[in-house]
Structure 1
């Protein structure tokens, strides 16, 4: 029960009961509610500044995790860029150099993307700068990988071509050392066995018994196996490609036919003394772009350094040729 309040009336010299008007009561109630609402708003506002809701905590955790993942991503990109830089260095300074291909310029490898803003949809967020930079690095890294992949594809093709070239080029002696009687004459001015006049000897003469095997000095295709060229007697010509042709003359008989493919080391014929020949021997020539060149420079595939030096010494002697 609410307390009854009184006041002293000086006119009547007596106490009178205080009567509260309804308007005043409503005013008090309204004032109380207003102040309560205001206090509650202030409390909620202050609490929101210092106290996080479960949703805010979840969002903060998600944001922190995202930043951590982006940090890990950037570290992985650092490692990927380092590995790719090492591959690019080897590509330019070893692989492409070896296969005589032009290095790929750094500006071509690391070129960005011009034109329109590719990352406009990533702008306007709290971490837009971080997200955009990471996406730029990924895009450039992907482009570098594509450039390097194409370069390695080119290197593979060059390597395959180089392998074919190395297999095709004449690189061994056409007669085994153990089958040789001697190396009779080399490339250069020599005395003709029939006229005794000095003239150019365009090949090398390997003396060996009749029937000694003659070997293809490189991969190629037999273009001739006949006796239709003056002075050579029975002879074979092999087209090795890349401008190289080898010739084997004065043969006893053939072991191949025209248009037959041969590999280095295949037996193609046998030593004889047909044509303009003084004794059984193999006359061997090499052509490069239809010009005769010294065969002495093409035995790296079958002779040791000591054997090559001996051959070089014998070939340099200005003796009499056998054809």
Structure 2
């Protein structure tokens, strides 16, 4: 089924519209009611790496116990900076697991500056440098804790992946619509934007000591590990106190305030440049101070269509 996305962002050049990004947005109040929605927030889509906090909650429910930095890197699509490689390696080292057991692809760091320096130094792609290595490290440790085979941890039928699926369905309050394989090799569970926002709200408001709280605490305490020193998701969490946020490929993002107000965004064409201004506009409509969100807007990318109408009416 083709989602019913709508125009969200106009790319301007010299006062003329040069391009248009379509997409969908939904914002939920702390009680789960809909604050506003634009486009099609209910057709299932692949959340890609935006699902990592949900996957981390599943592993915490299975007994995974890490420090805050460990849960942050388990929830991360990191940039491959030295701090990220150290954090992912520390998760493995805590359980005595060698990096060679990781099943994610070998890769260069995601950050372009770090990647260029890595290549200039003659370094080859590495599993720890892959942006999903923290999640995979946590998956291996969770298998070790539960006595499950490590070599098949990416199989959708593996007990770990079955438990992750069940947690995704619980947090989103909806059944998984379809299963695919993410770019890192892990199973990918299709849900709707509305379900993703519900999950974000539950994680953001979890009581102390719960698995959800452990993940939220890690994300809040270490936003630099969730993204990177030059990533908008990290800058956004530093700008908005208590916010948890996670971005993913194909321009998906979730964000939730400490009171449980939550937003989920999908840009239809996967154009990542449109994602930050749309999310900033949505958070502004949720009451976040505009001054904190200004760095995530753009003079050349103008939020338009139904979302702009909501802003004018607010």
Per the normalisation by structure 2, the TM-score is: 0.22
TM-score normalised according to structure 1 size: 0.21
Greater fraction of residues in strand: 1
Q: Which has the higher contact order (CA 8 A, sep 6+)?
A: 2
Indicate the structure (1 or 2) with the bigger Cα radius of gyration.
1
